[in-house]
Amino acid sequence: MITNSQTRVLIAEDDSMVARHMKVALTEIAMTVVGLAADGAKAVAMTTELKPDVVLMDMTMPEMDGIAAATAIQAACPTPVVIVSAHTETDLVVQATAAGVGAYVVKPPEKEELERAIAIAIARHADLMELRRVNHDLERTLAVVKTLKGLLPICSGCKKIRDEKDYWNEVEIYVMQHTDAKFTHGLCPKCLEKYFPGYTDTIVT
Protein backbone atom coordinates (compact mmCIF):
# COMPACT_ATOMS: atom_id res chain seq x y z
CA MET A 1 0.00 0.00 0.00
CA ILE A 2 1.28 3.48 -0.89
CA THR A 3 1.84 5.73 2.13
CA ASN A 4 1.69 9.54 2.11
CA SER A 5 5.48 9.84 2.08
CA GLN A 6 5.64 7.61 -1.01
CA THR A 7 2.84 9.31 -2.93
CA ARG A 8 4.03 11.28 -5.95
CA VAL A 9 1.56 13.90 -7.19
CA LEU A 10 1.32 15.86 -10.43
CA ILE A 11 -0.67 19.11 -10.19
CA ALA A 12 -2.46 20.25 -13.36
CA GLU A 13 -3.72 23.77 -12.68
CA ASP A 14 -3.50 26.98 -14.73
CA ASP A 15 -4.07 29.28 -11.73
CA SER A 16 -0.66 29.68 -10.07
CA MET A 17 -2.16 30.71 -6.70
CA VAL A 18 -4.37 27.62 -6.54
CA ALA A 19 -1.46 25.43 -7.64
CA ARG A 20 0.72 26.91 -4.90
CA HIS A 21 -2.03 26.37 -2.32
CA MET A 22 -2.31 22.68 -3.25
CA LYS A 23 1.46 22.20 -3.27
CA VAL A 24 1.72 23.58 0.26
CA ALA A 25 -1.20 21.42 1.43
CA LEU A 26 0.37 18.30 -0.10
CA THR A 27 3.71 19.08 1.51
CA GLU A 28 2.01 19.37 4.90
CA ILE A 29 0.62 15.84 4.55
CA ALA A 30 4.04 14.55 3.45
CA MET A 31 3.23 13.96 -0.22
CA THR A 32 5.71 14.77 -2.99
CA VAL A 33 4.80 17.11 -5.87
CA VAL A 34 6.70 15.87 -8.93
CA GLY A 35 5.52 18.54 -11.35
CA LEU A 36 3.17 21.40 -12.23
CA ALA A 37 1.29 21.50 -15.53
CA ALA A 38 -0.41 24.71 -16.63
CA ASP A 39 -2.65 23.11 -19.26
CA GLY A 40 -4.31 19.80 -20.06
CA ALA A 41 -2.02 18.80 -22.91
CA LYS A 42 1.06 19.31 -20.76
CA ALA A 43 -0.60 17.32 -17.97
CA VAL A 44 -0.97 14.34 -20.31
CA ALA A 45 2.64 14.60 -21.48
CA MET A 46 4.02 14.98 -17.95
CA THR A 47 1.95 12.07 -16.65
CA THR A 48 3.34 9.83 -19.37
CA GLU A 49 6.89 11.00 -18.66
CA LEU A 50 6.90 11.24 -14.85
CA LYS A 51 4.39 8.46 -14.05
CA PRO A 52 3.04 10.01 -10.83
CA ASP A 53 0.89 8.03 -8.41
CA VAL A 54 -1.98 10.49 -8.85
CA VAL A 55 -2.88 13.62 -10.83
CA LEU A 56 -4.76 16.59 -9.35
CA MET A 57 -6.60 17.95 -12.37
CA ASP A 58 -8.30 21.32 -12.82
CA MET A 59 -11.52 21.15 -14.82
CA THR A 60 -11.04 24.30 -16.92
CA MET A 61 -7.62 24.74 -18.56
CA PRO A 62 -6.27 25.98 -21.90
CA GLU A 63 -5.33 23.61 -24.73
CA MET A 64 -7.30 20.72 -23.21
CA ASP A 65 -9.85 20.68 -20.38
CA GLY A 66 -9.61 18.40 -17.37
CA ILE A 67 -12.06 15.78 -18.61
CA ALA A 68 -10.35 15.49 -22.01
CA ALA A 69 -6.95 15.32 -20.30
CA ALA A 70 -8.16 12.63 -17.88
CA THR A 71 -9.50 10.61 -20.82
CA ALA A 72 -6.19 10.93 -22.67
CA ILE A 73 -4.24 9.93 -19.56
CA GLN A 74 -6.28 6.75 -19.08
CA ALA A 75 -5.63 5.82 -22.70
CA ALA A 76 -1.90 6.61 -22.71
CA CYS A 77 -0.78 5.91 -19.15
CA PRO A 78 -3.59 4.81 -16.79
CA THR A 79 -3.21 6.85 -13.60
CA PRO A 80 -5.51 7.82 -10.70
CA VAL A 81 -7.00 11.29 -11.29
CA VAL A 82 -8.68 13.68 -8.85
CA ILE A 83 -10.64 16.57 -10.35
CA VAL A 84 -10.19 19.84 -8.44
CA SER A 85 -12.79 22.36 -9.60
CA ALA A 86 -15.10 25.17 -8.58
CA HIS A 87 -17.83 23.54 -10.66
CA THR A 88 -20.09 21.04 -8.90
CA GLU A 89 -22.77 20.38 -11.54
CA THR A 90 -23.97 16.77 -11.58
CA ASP A 91 -23.43 16.35 -15.31
CA LEU A 92 -19.77 17.35 -14.94
CA VAL A 93 -19.29 14.81 -12.17
CA VAL A 94 -20.85 12.14 -14.39
CA GLN A 95 -18.57 13.11 -17.30
CA ALA A 96 -15.54 13.04 -15.02
CA THR A 97 -16.42 9.57 -13.75
CA ALA A 98 -16.83 8.31 -17.32
CA ALA A 99 -13.37 9.72 -18.10
CA GLY A 100 -11.82 7.54 -15.40
CA VAL A 101 -11.66 10.15 -12.64
CA GLY A 102 -11.58 8.53 -9.19
CA ALA A 103 -12.52 11.47 -6.95
CA TYR A 104 -13.75 15.07 -7.08
CA VAL A 105 -13.00 17.97 -4.70
CA VAL A 106 -14.13 21.59 -4.72
CA LYS A 107 -11.74 24.55 -4.81
CA PRO A 108 -10.03 25.62 -2.70
CA PRO A 109 -9.40 22.15 -1.23
CA GLU A 110 -8.19 21.69 2.32
CA LYS A 111 -5.36 19.25 2.95
CA GLU A 112 -7.68 16.75 4.65
CA GLU A 113 -9.97 16.78 1.60
CA LEU A 114 -7.01 16.27 -0.74
CA GLU A 115 -5.66 13.42 1.34
CA ARG A 116 -9.04 11.66 1.41
CA ALA A 117 -9.71 12.23 -2.31
CA ILE A 118 -6.27 10.96 -3.29
CA ALA A 119 -6.70 7.80 -1.20
CA ILE A 120 -10.11 7.16 -2.78
CA ALA A 121 -8.83 7.77 -6.33
CA ILE A 122 -5.87 5.41 -5.86
CA ALA A 123 -8.10 2.67 -4.40
CA ARG A 124 -10.71 3.01 -7.16
CA HIS A 125 -8.01 2.98 -9.82
CA ALA A 126 -6.55 -0.24 -8.40
CA ASP A 127 -10.03 -1.82 -8.45
CA LEU A 128 -10.53 -0.67 -12.06
CA MET A 129 -7.19 -2.12 -13.18
CA GLU A 130 -8.02 -5.45 -11.51
CA LEU A 131 -11.46 -5.47 -13.15
CA ARG A 132 -9.87 -4.83 -16.55
CA ARG A 133 -7.42 -7.69 -15.97
CA VAL A 134 -10.22 -10.08 -15.01
CA ASN A 135 -12.30 -8.99 -18.02
CA HIS A 136 -9.32 -9.50 -20.33
CA ASP A 137 -8.76 -13.02 -18.99
CA LEU A 138 -12.47 -13.74 -19.34
CA GLU A 139 -12.50 -12.50 -22.94
CA ARG A 140 -9.56 -14.76 -23.75
CA THR A 141 -11.33 -17.73 -22.18
CA LEU A 142 -14.57 -16.99 -24.02
CA ALA A 143 -12.66 -16.64 -27.28
CA VAL A 144 -11.30 -20.17 -26.83
CA VAL A 145 -14.72 -21.52 -25.96
CA LYS A 146 -16.27 -19.74 -28.94
CA THR A 147 -13.61 -21.14 -31.25
CA LEU A 148 -14.45 -24.72 -30.34
CA LYS A 149 -18.19 -24.21 -30.02
CA GLY A 150 -20.59 -25.66 -32.56
CA LEU A 151 -19.98 -28.13 -35.39
CA LEU A 152 -16.44 -28.95 -36.46
CA PRO A 153 -16.07 -30.26 -40.04
CA ILE A 154 -14.13 -33.51 -39.61
CA CYS A 155 -13.23 -36.05 -42.29
CA SER A 156 -14.93 -39.38 -41.66
CA GLY A 157 -11.94 -41.19 -43.14
CA CYS A 158 -8.71 -39.63 -41.86
CA LYS A 159 -10.38 -37.64 -39.03
CA LYS A 160 -8.72 -34.34 -40.01
CA ILE A 161 -10.53 -31.10 -39.15
CA ARG A 162 -11.15 -28.33 -41.69
CA ASP A 163 -10.35 -24.85 -40.32
CA GLU A 164 -11.79 -21.45 -41.23
CA LYS A 165 -9.21 -21.10 -44.06
CA ASP A 166 -10.40 -24.36 -45.60
CA TYR A 167 -7.23 -26.24 -44.63
CA TRP A 168 -7.42 -29.77 -43.24
CA ASN A 169 -5.49 -30.23 -39.98
CA GLU A 170 -4.65 -33.17 -37.79
CA VAL A 171 -6.98 -33.23 -34.79
CA GLU A 172 -4.21 -32.71 -32.24
CA ILE A 173 -2.71 -29.81 -34.19
CA TYR A 174 -6.07 -28.08 -34.49
CA VAL A 175 -6.87 -28.50 -30.80
CA MET A 176 -3.43 -27.27 -29.68
CA GLN A 177 -3.76 -24.18 -31.91
CA HIS A 178 -7.16 -23.28 -30.49
CA THR A 179 -6.73 -24.22 -26.83
CA ASP A 180 -4.00 -24.59 -24.21
CA ALA A 181 -4.31 -28.39 -24.34
CA LYS A 182 -1.22 -30.52 -25.00
CA PHE A 183 -1.15 -34.09 -26.33
CA THR A 184 0.74 -37.21 -25.34
CA HIS A 185 0.62 -40.22 -27.64
CA GLY A 186 0.00 -43.87 -26.95
CA LEU A 187 -2.02 -46.80 -28.25
CA CYS A 188 -5.39 -48.00 -27.05
CA PRO A 189 -5.73 -51.80 -26.53
CA LYS A 190 -7.53 -52.23 -29.88
CA CYS A 191 -4.84 -50.41 -31.87
CA LEU A 192 -2.09 -52.14 -29.91
CA GLU A 193 -3.48 -55.51 -30.99
CA LYS A 194 -3.94 -54.24 -34.58
CA TYR A 195 -0.40 -52.93 -35.06
CA PHE A 196 1.44 -55.29 -32.69
CA PRO A 197 -0.52 -58.57 -32.75
CA GLY A 198 0.30 -60.86 -29.91
CA TYR A 199 2.11 -58.13 -27.96
CA THR A 200 -0.39 -58.25 -25.11
CA ASP A 201 0.19 -61.99 -24.77
CA THR A 202 3.82 -61.33 -23.83
CA ILE A 203 2.91 -59.06 -20.92
CA VAL A 204 3.22 -60.89 -17.60
CA THR A 205 0.45 -59.95 -15.20
Per-residue pLDDT of the chain (205 residues; tens, 9 = 90+): 566 778 999 999 999 999 999 999 999 999 999 999 999 999 999 999 999 999 999 988 888 999 999 999 999 999 999 999 888 777 888 888 888 899 999 988 899 999 999 999 999 999 888 888 888 877 776 666 555 666 678 888 888 888 878 889 888 888 777 777 777 777 787 877 777 777 655 554 4
Nearest to 92 by CA among 80, 78, 106, 79: 106
pLDDT score, position 1: 53
pLDDT score, position 56: 97
Under CATH, what is the fold of the domain 4-129? Rossmann fold (3.40.50)
pLDDT score, position 205: 47
Q: What is the pTM of this model?
A: 0.65
Residue-range domain boundaries for the chain: 4-129, 161-202
pLDDT score, position 143: 66
